[in-house]
Chains A and B, each alone.
Chain A
Amino acid sequence: MLKSEVTATSRHYVDRLFDPDPQKVLQGVIDMKNAVIGNNKQKANLIVLGAVPRLLYLLQQSSSSLELRTECAVVLGSLAMGTENNIKSLVDCHIIPALLQGLLCPELIFIEVCLRCLRTVFISPVTPVQLLYTDPTVIPHLMSLLSRSQRTQEYITQIFSHCCKTPEHQTVLFNHGAIQNIAPLLISPSYKVRMQALKCFSVLAYENTQVSMTLVNVLVDGELLSQVFVRMMQRDQPIEMQLTAAKCLTYMCRAGAIRTDDSCVVLKTLPCLVRMCSKEHLLEERVEGAETLAYLMEPDVELQRIASTTDHLVAMLADYFKYPSSVSAITDIKRLDHDLKHAHELRQAAFKLYASLGSNDEDIRKKITETENMMDRIVSGLSESSIKVRLAAVRCLHSLSRSVQQLRTSFHDHAVWRPLMKLLQNAPDEVLVMASSTLCNLLLEFSPSKEPILESGVIELLCSLTQSDSPALRVNGIWALMNMAFQAEQKVKVEIVRSLGTEQLFRLLSDPDSNVLMKTLGLLRNLLSTRPHIDQIMSSHGKQIMQAVTLILEAEHSIEVKEQTLCILANIADGNTAKELIMTNDDMLQKIKYYMGHSNVKLQLAATFCISNLIWNEEDGSQERQDKLREMGFVDILHKLTQASDPNLCDRWARKEANHKTHGILIRCILIYILTT
């Protein structure tokens, strides 16, 4: 048939909708229904020819017979079953408000076809879900329709589970009694209803404490909801149901509604999710299973340990990297296509799960890195085209980089720093955060990768990170610099200071994020170590540094920040020439005196260290310094501290922190020096 002919027939169908005889219009709609079923071309034609507005008009017209209105909804539902473009056209014609309006009709059959059509429209990714929430009366009405029939139950729950995308949506549904209304559907005789109700609960509970906490107390036919979910995870249930029930319990557990050592988590949910990762399941199921499992055990080391021994999970995941397999490429194009489509998803899911498994336990990390070609896979994952895979790979690398042993061995052997550095050059923020965090670990002093990374010009890059808008990136940047400066050579330190610039350094010292501040102080402290370095840096930047220190000590800051600052001061006091910057600053000395009498032991200790560095009498001018300090009344304070440092107090300190045992001894030493010289 020629295209014009096709259009002509389609035109005829549309024309009949305008017939003055309602009987003929009805027949026209019925004929149209039969013509469009399974015929995407015909559907597109009818939409282009303007059938939709007319059908909607007939559907909304109160003068239309119920039969006609029903048939119109059926045809619209059929049109919606076509391509995404069809859905777009329907939504543009305001089909959603029209159908929602139709739900107010008392006739069940009409309600059902409207819901069916709405369902088809809403489950399409092109439909804005917000349209469900525009009219506040819609959700309560849908809730009330849940009792009408199994069909309304199936369609409405399906709409809900596709349209619940944000915490706000969850709250709206929750506030309208979604839980009470949907819970009984979990034991519906219809599998479809049970399944859609279950999906509803999984989207409602996701990262939602309020919903999860409510769910644990819900009874369905006298049985706790968690037990209903456990039954749905039984191994003879359809995989889809097992997986979705496991998701529900996972979300409830992560939201704190179920303990991680509850047997329904340890003996049911976790093993169920591990099973989902096995080869015998569909690729989509394996992806979902792995992702959910990763999420479930992320915060709990015990679950990570259990999972790592369940059904050879660590080895099982290695299979996720074997798609598309060499066999599929040769024998079966369709299979190859399918494999390719899922290959990225599989890899990223496996990386995520490895990351979660290895986030705490050293033995598990070892097991992961010993899995066949694991490090190579991570390295190639870091440079994959898919952002999702790159992100997951770097997450996995980050998790493994927490292991001292791995940093020393496999990380170095596989030169993971190279792709990591490349990744850092140009990547979206979320990848950058993970990558820079990993880099922090790679720059630890004992890491053999530290040297080559330094040589690759990483300082510039890290300094630029500290200027980022994202606090996480600023922290990582400065953190990495801090690690780098630890026991570094003079030239590295100079390079850091030069590259970062004092201006930026001081900007970071007033950063609103306390983590950034802490790491910046840490960097300063690491820069100001060993005497020549201290004197060198203080001679060029002494004034600014002293200024910054004063500011921090005067401002409202946490104990940790002040302690770190006092430690910097103690380092400065260790310098040969730098000492004078403190000794000549009476204001600073007063501050030190104040902190020596502070109620917090840590601050006392740090301040006392500072003083001890100043009066150490093996150095030139110690006598003068001691005299000055004596004049300023430091001796009294030290005396007081000696008294306080009676064995009992020392003991109390010792119990608090082993370090503090030295405090009393330290004070005594200082006192002896001062008094004897």
Chain B
Amino acid sequence: MAELGAGSLSLGDPAFNYQEHELNERLKRLYPAVNEEETPLPRSWSPKDKYSYIGLSQNNLRVHYKGHGKNHKDAASVRATHPIPAACGIYYFEVKIVSKGRDGYMGIGLSAQGVNMNRLPGWDKHSYGYHGDDGHSFCSSGTGQPYGPTFTTGDVIGCCVNLINNTCFYTKNGISLGVAFTDLPPNLYPTVGLQTPGEIVDANFGQQPFVFDIEDYMSEWRAKIHGMIARFPIGERLGEWQSVLQNMVSSYLVHHGYCATATAFARATETIIQEEQTSIKNRQRIQKLVLAGRVGEAIDATQHLYPGLLEHNPNLLFMLKCRQFVEMVNGTDSEVRCLTIRSPKSQDSYPGSPSLSPRHGASNTHLHTGADSPTCSNGVTPPNKSKSHSGTGSSSIKYPSVSSSASSSTSSSPSSVNYSESNSSDSTKSQPHSANSTQETSLSLNFRRNQTHVTRSSNHDSEMEIEAEHYTNGVVEGSSARIMNGTYKHEEILQPDDNSIDEGCTNGRQLCGGNQAATERMIHFGRELQALNEQLGREYGKNATHKKMLQDAFSLLAYSDPWNCPVGQQLDPTQRESLCSALNSAILESQNLPKQPPLMLALGQATECVQLMARVRSGSCSFARVDNFLH
């Protein structure tokens, strides 16, 4: 579309790439709630949606008039490539008048799809414009209303659409001119219209910094909406409101097996825990085993404590066994660990809080999309397995925060939550793998910190109780940073005197801990696993997920250094978490308890609501994001 040739940028041009980068960054910052896969943002004028008298150049950002310009019948407009998404909340673009041409009959505004392009914006139904020659605003009418000053060559005119109250105002050279239109319909496109020869205007959809401080305007609305939420009337039954909150916290703690904290919380708030203490402790023990990589023991314990559970969940059993195989490769499963020379205690490495309370993920967390949600949780990466991840796409953003939560693993927060943990296999696949040296360093640092902590506090349960006092008023936030989920940091798991740590950090890892007998045991187990898969296939039909899982697990053996191979990611202890969560949910379900904590359901509900708001074009969703309230 670069009709003018000169001055236009080609795709390979570094300047263009820079501008493109700037644009993406700015749009992301301005409109974080917009899902561009569903509703793309306008980034340029549309070469298809324009009148023939309009010429485009400079990456379809510059508009010039090429008609006769005899009278208003020669007016011509162009729309942007996409309508303004409601999820913007507040949308803004600017137009610089490069030349006013002969008469400066320029109109800047908005129009719906299908509005006649042989017109200036504002003259027709569902079309709105501010005209330079007289400074009038045109609201779907051929006659304008006095609105603002006139504008001409050199002026920068901005157009801001407020999708919360459906109004629009313009700016001239960074100064707001006040509301021009109210009751705007949805799905309007940025539009400009020209009418006389020589008129040229440039659009800025975010390619450049805006002259008007739109972010300041947005901050006002963000504050307004947050204030509205904060002051939302709760009604007469205040007591019930509090008890609802307490129950949510309590059930969350119970769900994840924070037994001591839950008990202390229940005592302080005088609430009742539905589940028996022993039951909670049992679940806690099983989770602890899974997270420690001792899956075999976990299976045994489950079978012992909850007979029939795994028999009724063959898929779960298969996943567990698969994991057990992986852990054998890892050298952490007890079946191989007892065969190795080293102290079994020294083997394991789950330094941080196992914290089934995973951190809340990025914006696209979904109630039922396991693949989207990061499975990583607090303090998950042990230093002697210090394989870090820098993922692609969305996970690349998430990972740095994993390391940060690892560094604070002694104080991970129960309020930082992820509620989509049941689907283990999907999340396994979603994890890309590549080494990242900087993260390695930070992780080993974290580890040392953890060590100190463990030596200091031998009795976690009592400490938990002290900490839990912070919960007494039923307020979840604030106290979160102080709470320790660290019930799993038992001495048996984490020994500070382990020499192998440093080795492990470098290249000391060996298949099955380097033990011949263990390797044999592993291979034998692999055969059993294969048999189980076939048996399941016969009984329940072929399962592609199972097949893939098994293939991936077996593939580990194909590499001399499984930790640094394309499927080595499986060995990462973070991979245990989703499985752990699935097992926990299965146990709870078998006890007729909810398999998801109500807190997670509420959070998922809220997230869904906000997304629904975007779809039904309620602009305030932009400033009511769940993320804003999770600290």
Point out residues on A near B: beta carbons under 8 Å. Answer: 234-236, 266-268, 270-271, 306, 309-312, 316
Contact = CB atoms under 8 A, between A and B. Distances in A.
A267 B172 contact: no
Nearest to B177: A309
Contacts of B172: 309
26 contacts: A234-B216, A235-B216, A235-B217, A235-B219, A235-B220, A236-B220, A236-B222, A266-B174, A266-B175, A267-B174, A267-B175, A267-B213, A268-B213, A270-B175, A271-B175, A309-B148, A309-B149, A309-B172, A310-B175, A310-B176, A310-B178, A311-B169, A311-B176, A311-B178, A312-B178, A316-B178
B612 interface: no
Contacts of A271: 175-176
Nearest to B213: A267
A313 to B, nearest CB: 8
B148 A234 contact: no
A311 B174 CA distance: 12
Contacts of B445: none
A245 to B, nearest CB: 13
Contacts of B213: 267-268
A12 B219 CA distance: 57
A235 B224 CA distance: 10
Contacts of B217: 235
B223 interface: yes
Nearest to A278: B178
A236 B178 contact: no
Nearest to B227: A236
Q: Which 4 residue pairs spanning A and B have beta carbons closest together?
A: A235-B220, A236-B223, A312-B178, A311-B178
A306 B174 CA distance: 11
A310 B169 CA distance: 11
A415 B223 CA distance: 49
Most buried by B among A235, A268, A312, A316: A235
A316 B179 CA distance: 11
B458 to A, nearest CB: 37
Interface residues of B, number: 17
B219 A234 contact: yes
A228 to B, nearest CB: 15
Nearest to B222: A236
A625 to B, nearest CB: 60
Nearest to A316: B178
Contacts of B219: 234-236
Contacts of B223: 235-236
A242 to B, nearest CB: 10
Given A236-B222, A236-B223, A310 B177 contact: yes
A316 B177 CA distance: 12
A234 B213 CA distance: 10
Interface in B131-166: 148-149
Contacts of A234: 216, 219
Nearest to B223: A236
A153 to B, nearest CB: 25
Q: Which of A236, A268, A271 has the most CB of B within 10 A?
A: A236
Contacts of A268: 213
A271 B172 CA distance: 12
Given A266-B175, A310-B176, 7 more contacts: A235-B219, A236-B222, A267-B175, A270-B175, A309-B148, A309-B172, A311-B178
A400 to B, nearest CB: 19
* Majority secondary structure of chain A interface residues (helix, strand, loop or mixed): helix
A310 B176 CA distance: 6
Nearest to A313: B178
A270 B173 CA distance: 14
Interface string B107-141: 00000000000000000000000000000000000
Nearest to A263: B174
Contacts of B175: 266-267, 270-271, 306, 309-310
A619 B436 CA distance: 110
Contacts of A236: 219-220, 222-223
Residue of A266, A306, A312 most packed against chain B (CB within 10 A):
A312
Nearest to B149: A309
Interface string B177-219: 1110000000000000000000000000000000001001101
Nearest to A270: B175
A268 B211 CA distance: 12
Give the residue among A306, A309, A310 with the most B Cβ atoms within 10 A: A309
A112 B174 CA distance: 46
A128 B329 CA distance: 85
Nearest to B224: A236
A311 B177 contact: yes
Interface string B515-550: 000000000000000000000000000000000000
B228 to A, nearest CB: 14
B160 to A, nearest CB: 12
Nearest to B147: A312
A235 B217 CA distance: 6
Contacts of B222: 236
A73 B174 CA distance: 53
Contacts of A309: 148-149, 172, 175, 177
Nearest to A233: B216
Interface string B42-82: 00000000000000000000000000000000000000000
Nearest to A305: B149
A321 to B, nearest CB: 19
A174 B222 CA distance: 39
B465 to A, nearest CB: 32
Nearest to A363: B149
A262 to B, nearest CB: 13
Nearest to B174: A267
Contacts of A266: 174-175
B81 to A, nearest CB: 30
A117 B190 CA distance: 60
A312 B148 CA distance: 8
A350 B177 CA distance: 19
A234 B149 CA distance: 26
B309 to A, nearest CB: 52
Contacts of B216: 234-235
Nearest to B212: A267
A43 to B, nearest CB: 34
A624 B217 CA distance: 83
A306 B223 CA distance: 27
B170 to A, nearest CB: 10
Nearest to B179: A312
A270 B219 CA distance: 18
Nearest to A268: B213
A249 B28 CA distance: 33
Contacts of B177: 309-312
Contacts of A306: 175
A236 B623 CA distance: 13
A268 to B, nearest CB: 8
A176 B217 CA distance: 39
Interface string B449-483: 00000000000000000000000000000000000
Contacts of B178: 310-312, 316
B204 to A, nearest CB: 17
Contacts of B176: 271, 310-311
Nearest to A308: B149
A363 to B, nearest CB: 9
A311 B216 CA distance: 16
A312 B216 CA distance: 19
Contacts of B179: 312
A394 to B, nearest CB: 29
A268 B169 CA distance: 18
A267 B158 CA distance: 14
Contacts of B169: 311
Nearest to A280: B224
Nearest to A315: B178
Nearest to A310: B175
A527 B31 CA distance: 73
Contacts of A312: 177-179
Query: Which of B169, B175, B223 gathers most chain A CB within 10 Å?
Result: B175
A266 B176 CA distance: 11
